[in-house]
Each structure stands twice: as structure tokens, then as C-alpha cells.
Chains A and B, each alone.
Chain A
Amino acid sequence: GEDVEQSLFLSVREGDSSVINCTYTDSSSTYLYWYKQEPGAGLQLLTYIFSNMDMKQDQRLTVLLNKKDKHLSLRIADTQTGDSAIYFCAESLYTGKLIFGQGTTLQVKP
């Protein structure tokens, strides 16, 4: 079946790197996404990666995809207090439907 798993909580110090991990089960996923949700706000698309890619870098964000293990990670370099939010991993099916993980709450301590 379709399932996406994430750890629920991550705490880091300001200036450190954060790594948020995600696993998924559907091998037919086309794209994998990372979204950010701040309190009371909607979802902000951070980045996405095509399922045939291994890595994608966008400024402070690095996405790594291990398709064999169905493992996705998001690394945030030089984490700032403004990065505190819930981060959702999602996989897309060919229909466009997104399957979301439970979300990882990132706490950045000054």
C-alpha cells in the first residue's frame, strides 16, 4: 500500500545542520516533495526531486534520494530560528495524488 513515514521531532542548535528523514513504500512514485508548514499557515513547497535523481541542491537545502531503500532526506545547512516549522515529506502518484508523511517538527534553539 501507500505509506510515508517520518520521525516526529528534531531539535537542533542554530547554525547546525538539520537532517530530516523520510521513508516511503510505493516504488511507482514519480516525484518526492518537501513542504514546510509554519503555525497557522498553509503548506510552502520547499523543493522536490524526480524519482530518477539521487540528489538535488537548492541554496541551503539538499535532498538525497535512495530509491533502492525508498529513503528520502532533507538537509538544511546553517539552520536558523526561522526554519522552525513542521516539515512534510510527500510522494506523488501518477494521478497527481500526494501521500504525506506525519510531519517532522523541527525545533531550532538559539
Chain B
Amino acid sequence: SAVISQKPSRDICQRGTSLTIQCQVDSQVTMMFWYRQQPGQSLTLIATANQGSEATYESGFVIDKFPISRPNLTFSTLTVSNLSPEDSSIYLCSVGTSGGAYEQYFGPGTRLTVT
């Protein structure tokens, strides 16, 4: 399995500002993903973080709002820009291990509250 850490674990931000979330893995992984879990809801994939190239975004998510970086095989960041109360959610990164995505592990999540 992979050990995944996220920073910050939680934050309270004002409307119109941005928050950058870091995801660090203890080993090199092929695939990294960012998910959103809105209050009381299930998880929805935001994007796949690609090492060395632009992230692949799911329908309904755009790069201007959710810019993602992945400079190497163990680290990624997700920025949530121009925050509104609707962005209040838990943001989780996940990684696929063992040469494919069939074992997917999640970080502890970042709980964002926008006031």
C-alpha cells in the first residue's frame, strides 16, 4: 500500500481567495487523482494529475478553477481558485499503485470551508 499525506488537513477561507492543497506519497506512483466530496455526498473525480503534462479534467471541472500541478511521481498540488461557499467540501487525492490503477488509496483529505 501507499502512505499518502495531505496539507492542510483543514482550512477556513474567505470568498474570492484561493487554497492550494498538497499531496505527498511515500513512493513513486503512476497515477494520481483528485476527488471532491461535498457535504453528505459521495466522491466525484475532478481530474487525473499527469506527471510532466497538463491534468485531464472531468466534465464540469475546468483548469482555471482547479489548476493542478504534478512535478514528479510522488507529489501533486490542487488549487481551488476564486472560492465561493459552494466550494466547501473535502478534497482528496488518491494514487494508483502496482503498475496500474487497480489498487487505489486515498489521502486523509482536506476539509475546506468557505465563508
Contact = CB atoms under 8 A, between A and B. Distances in A.
Given A96-B31, A100-B43, A45 B48 contact: no
Interface of A: 30-31, 33, 35, 41-45, 48, 50, 88, 90, 92, 95-98, 100-103
A43 B94 CA distance: 9
Interface residues of B, number: 24
Q: SS class of chain A's interface: helix, strand, loop or mixed?
A: strand
A31 B33 CA distance: 17
**Chain B at the A interface: SS class:** strand
Contacts of B105: 45
A45 B104 contact: yes
Contacts of A31: 102
A93 to B, nearest CB: 9
Given A43-B92, A95-B48, A96-B33, A103 B106 contact: no
Nearest to B32: A96
Given A43-B92, A97-B33, A97-B48, A30 B102 contact: yes
